[in-house]
Structure 1
Amino acid sequence: MSTTIGVNADRQTAAAILARLDRLPATRHIWTMVTLLSLGGMFEFYDLFMTGYVVPGLVKAGLLTGVAIGMFSGPALFVASTFFGLFIGTFVFGFVADRYGRRAIFTFSMLFYCAATLVMSFQETGFGVCLWRMIAGIGIGVELVTIDTYVAELVPVHMRGRAFAFNQCVQFCVVPIVAGISYWLVPQTPLGWDGWRWVVAIGAIGALFVWFLRRAIPESPRWLLTHGRLADADRITAQIEAAVRRDLGGAALPEPAAHEVDDLSARGSFSEIWQPPYRTRTIMLMVFQFFQTFGFYGFAAWVPTLIAKQVGINLGASLQYAFIIAIANPFGPLLAMTFADRFERKWQLVGAAICIAVFGGLFSQQSTMPLLILFGVLITLSNNVLSYSFHSYQSELFPTRVRARAVGFTYAFSRISTVFASFIIGFFFANFNGTTGVFGLIGFAMLMVVLSIGIFGPRTSNLVLEKISH
């Protein structure tokens, strides 16, 4: 009897804490927490997107010559090492943020991949470069999962979509930065050190900021509640409330509403994501993640080649036009901030996939540079709306106790499909009328995205996480 009373009291306390979190207005303090998490993710995106930019430097140095493992050799092995590391990080180690906490793993994974990246910059053999690239990829994969779960759990329900859109906008700002740094440094040898090594080492600078970020971001109260640390969750929630009141000039906060609460006695396990209602969601995201990479990474990686094929210019010139298209990356999530919390998240995903297919088909029919750039920018904007919306969506579908584990497992399918997407796209490019064949493939992949999310995806917008998980 006393045990039942104690459990009910804990549930009431947890529900009150969650209600206090979700009633908070979107003040400067809330946006500061999102910004700091996003800055941590920006270093991760730098590390991820530099993959393609340092390959010419590695080739020039001869480090990738004669290096092969199985079907992968040279530059393909370097790229595959990155995404195989990401696969291990998400598939094998996605659970660590559920077990050890969002704050601790956010810190550790950043330090881990920064250290591995720094070690990679000193390697003198192609095998050493690829090995440490894979090790860095493991840390990046863990960080990707942790940031998604962290953002979802910290921000109030009414701004969750905008928070993810802003998070992606900040992270994608680094894409033109790493492109510019690589364009400047890779062809040179500053201070007698190969330019590609400088580009890689700069990526490790995130370690200098990690302790500042760690001090300024609290642990997720939701994670604390699932681990029975109600007093810590209450203390952190009170600190956030006090900061929000200061932002409001001492004005009273809105009254908390009744709030759902997860089962505090349950302990998350991998088997739980295969039980109703999560089984359908898990399979849906596996299918979605496998196919979405054909539109996202497929287009981004192949755009210089596609442009060169369409208008008959040399690859060097097409790289310049591809850079112009790449500048559009941060503007997709920025655009999404205007509607992120106004429309149902699953339909934003479906709409973005349809736009990728339509704009891709139009891109494949153009033969003039202005129209190629126009449709290339529209595809990029659509890809990044897709990216923001699925990062938000996947983190909303599971309870806190298995959120990182489920996100990591399903997200891993996009990492492994990316390894093979370039080979499949290359096959279609060579055997099915070039650009038309490529976008036929991407159109089919987007159809799979539309069907999986449109038919099986539950509603999540403006619903508290605990209600979605029920």
Structure 2
Amino acid sequence: MYMEKEIAGATAVEASVSARLDRLPPTRYFSGLVARIAIGGWFEFYEMFMAAYISLGLIGSGLYRATTAGLFDVNGFASFLGSFFAGMFVGTVALGGFTDRFGRRAVFTCAMLIYSVATFAAAFQHSPESMDLWRFVAGLGIGVQLITVDTYISELTPHHTRGRYSAFSILVILTSVPTGAVLSFLLVPHTILGLEGWRWVMIIGSAGAVLIWFMRRGLPESPRWLESKGRVDEARAIVDAIEARVVAETRCPLQAPAQHAPEPPAGEQSGSWSEMWKGRYFSRTVMLSFFNFFQTFGVYGFGAWVPVLLYTKGITITHSLLYTMVIAFATPLGALGAMACAERVQRKWQLVGCAIVVAVAGVLFGMVREPVLILLFGSAVTIANNWLIGIFHTYQAELYPTRIRARAVGFVFSWSRLSSIFVGFWVAALLKHSGVPAVFVLISSAMFVIVVMVGLLGPKTNGIRLEELSQ
């Protein structure tokens, strides 16, 4: 009996953290854990998509104008968008490595505080210069937070349900979009307690700082990250606690951890920035860089400009906000589709399919004027865009090893922030000189690049352990 216990104990010690996590069944505990992390992402997406819904309020108040006189015209609405994405670019490039250095949980908490405080300050600005400054600071925090959430969830969840849990997190996050649309529809046309409605929409978005201290309690650090840093005892203690929660919920004994190929010893996995350009990671880095640069043409080139695009087509402010709100309610449908197909259809082909839908439905949206067709094609673009979001956040996080995951994801994701800085200016210029259809020709061309790059260079990932993908 003593020998059996000793052998069992030795097996538990020998099993890696990842092997122990990957054999766990799906449970309400994991769903709750993912949902809590996703709440941090909820405020990020509220912040990003809020710009579209308060755009007419900003323009109507005289703070900004719809068109722009040049690339760095601070008086154009494109400046409001560009400053925010410039902050996100700096946050993902310069600060993305902090997540690999200091841990997922600590950076998650700090980033949320930064953008919540900055958003609250921005709500009280009265010049485009000061507004752009605070939007830049908010972008810094969100740039770090986005890659932290993706990394955090991919490392805490079992490999056979990783895609589904990541898509579930996006579903939670994307409920922020219709929420922001409804609040804007109700508040933007009015002045309340001496403050314009769009300012109240921003103030509500800063509420994440209030929730942060409640959210951080009970959130474990990533055991995979701790193990990669040589903090093996801490990693095993966290996995012990997770296993205890799963056993208590399922009332079933756990299967023995699978025996996998030996993994690099804990504490010896020191990654470097140059590693993402070597071996199998080179093609992944190139593919994801192109993907991220061009996906923002569809996601933000459309999402951030819907009310302005409709208004430019001659639709009244009230109807533009109403159509935008209705289209926004289609947002969670994309995440539901991603969640349903996350483990059933290869993620790379889901990305390709979504890009094709955005390209076709976007051109049709730019051509029609009938309310029913506007809502139909606008909803199709929105669903495809958010299905794409639900998949690519999972996809890019699983293509790199733990030691460089946040840094590499931060780098490739930074290309989306870089393009986002300029997409607003390009959209504004096309609206001024060529009209709404030209905007969607631009978007469709970008989607074609995604189809080619992901179709040719994207690896298959469904159901494969993170450690196997990175060997």
TM-score normalised by length of structure 1:
0.91
Match of 1:77 in 2: 79
Superposed, 1:68-467 pairs within 5 Å as: 71-74=72-75, 75-248=77-250, 250-260=251-261, 261-262=263-264, 264=266, 265-307=268-310, 313-429=315-431, 434-467=435-468
Letter in 1 for 2:269: A
Letter in 2 for 1:395: A
Deviation at residue 185 of structure 1 after TM alignment? 2.7
Q: 1:236 to 1:334 in 2, by over 3 A?
A: same
Match of 2:50 in 1: 50
SS in 2 for 1:187: coil
Q: 1:121 to 1:302 in 2, by over 3 A?
A: closer
Deviation at residue 409 of structure 1 after TM alignment? 0.9
Letter in 2 for 1:301: A
* Partners of 1:410 and 1:302 in 2: CA distance: 24
* Partners of 1:77 and 1:306 in 2: CA distance: 17
Superimposed CA distance per residue, residues 409-463 of structure 1 (whole angstroms, 9 cap, x where no aligned partner)? 111111111122233334445555x444333322221111011111111111100
* Partners of 1:325 and 1:366 in 2: CA distance: 15
Give the superposed CA RMSD.
2.5
Deviation at residue 162 of structure 1 after TM alignment? 1.0
Superimposed CA distance per residue, residues 374-416 of structure 1 (whole angstroms, 9 cap, x where no aligned partner)? 1221111111111111111110111111111111111111111
Residue 35 of structure 2 is aligned to residue 35 of structure 1 = yes
* Partners of 2:255 and 2:333 in 1: CA distance: 33
Deviation at residue 188 of structure 1 after TM alignment? 3.2
SS in 1 for 2:193: helix
Count of matched residue pairs: 457
Deviation at residue 52 of structure 1 after TM alignment? 3.1
User: In 1, are the aligned partners of 2:52 and 2:306 still within 8 Å (CA)?
Assistant: no
User: In 2, are the aligned partners of 1:54 and 1:182 still within 8 Å (CA)?
Assistant: yes
Superimposed CA distance per residue, residues 202-250 of structure 1 (whole angstroms, 9 cap, x where no aligned partner)? 22211122122111210000000110011111100010011011111x2
* Partners of 1:60 and 1:14 in 2: CA distance: 64
User: In 2, are the aligned partners of 1:14 and 1:230 still within 8 Å (CA)?
Assistant: no
SS in 1 for 2:145: helix
Superimposed CA distance per residue, residues 119-172 of structure 1 (whole angstroms, 9 cap, x where no aligned partner)? 223334432222111111100110001000001101111111111111111111
* Partners of 1:394 and 1:263 in 2: CA distance: 25
User: In 1, are the aligned partners of 2:53 and 2:321 still within 8 Å (CA)?
Assistant: no
Letter in 1 for 2:113: L
Q: 1:70 to 1:306 in 2, by over 3 A?
A: closer
Which segments of 5 or more consecutive residues in structure 1 lack a partner in the other structure? Answer: 1-9
SS in 2 for 1:267: coil
- Tell which deviates more after alignment, 412-421 or 94-103: 412-421
Which segments of 5 or more consecutive residues in structure 2 lack a partner in the other structure? Answer: 1-9
Match of 1:5 in 2: none
Deviation at residue 84 of structure 1 after TM alignment? 0.6
Deviation at residue 12 of structure 1 after TM alignment? 9.4
* Partners of 1:146 and 1:14 in 2: CA distance: 29
Q: 1:323 to 1:350 in 2, by over 3 A?
A: same
Q: 1:356 to 1:14 in 2, by over 3 A?
A: farther
Superimposed CA distance per residue, residues 64-91 of structure 1 (whole angstroms, 9 cap, x where no aligned partner)? 58x9997222222222111111111111
Match of 1:23 in 2: 23
- Tell which deviates more after alignment, 30-39 or 261-270: 261-270
User: In 2, are the aligned partners of 1:307 and 1:372 still within 8 Å (CA)?
Assistant: no
* Partners of 1:469 and 1:130 in 2: CA distance: 40
- Tell which deviates more after alignment, 38-47 or 418-427: 418-427
Superimposed CA distance per residue, residues 21-74 of structure 1 (whole angstroms, 9 cap, x where no aligned partner)? 011111010111001011111122222222233344444555458x99972222
Letter in 2 for 1:468: L
Match of 2:3 in 1: none
User: In 1, are the aligned partners of 2:185 and 2:322 still within 8 Å (CA)?
Assistant: no
Q: 1:171 to 1:98 in 2, by over 3 A?
A: same
* Partners of 1:107 and 1:372 in 2: CA distance: 40
* Partners of 2:86 and 2:366 in 1: CA distance: 31
* Partners of 2:410 and 2:285 in 1: CA distance: 11
User: In 2, are the aligned partners of 1:69 and 1:77 still within 8 Å (CA)?
Assistant: no
User: In 2, are the aligned partners of 1:22 and 1:155 still within 8 Å (CA)?
Assistant: yes
Superimposed CA distance per residue, residues 273-292 of structure 1 (whole angstroms, 9 cap, x where no aligned partner)? 12222122111111111111
* Partners of 1:173 and 1:150 in 2: CA distance: 20
User: In 2, are the aligned partners of 1:52 and 1:79 still within 8 Å (CA)?
Assistant: no
Deviation at residue 344 of structure 1 after TM alignment? 1.2
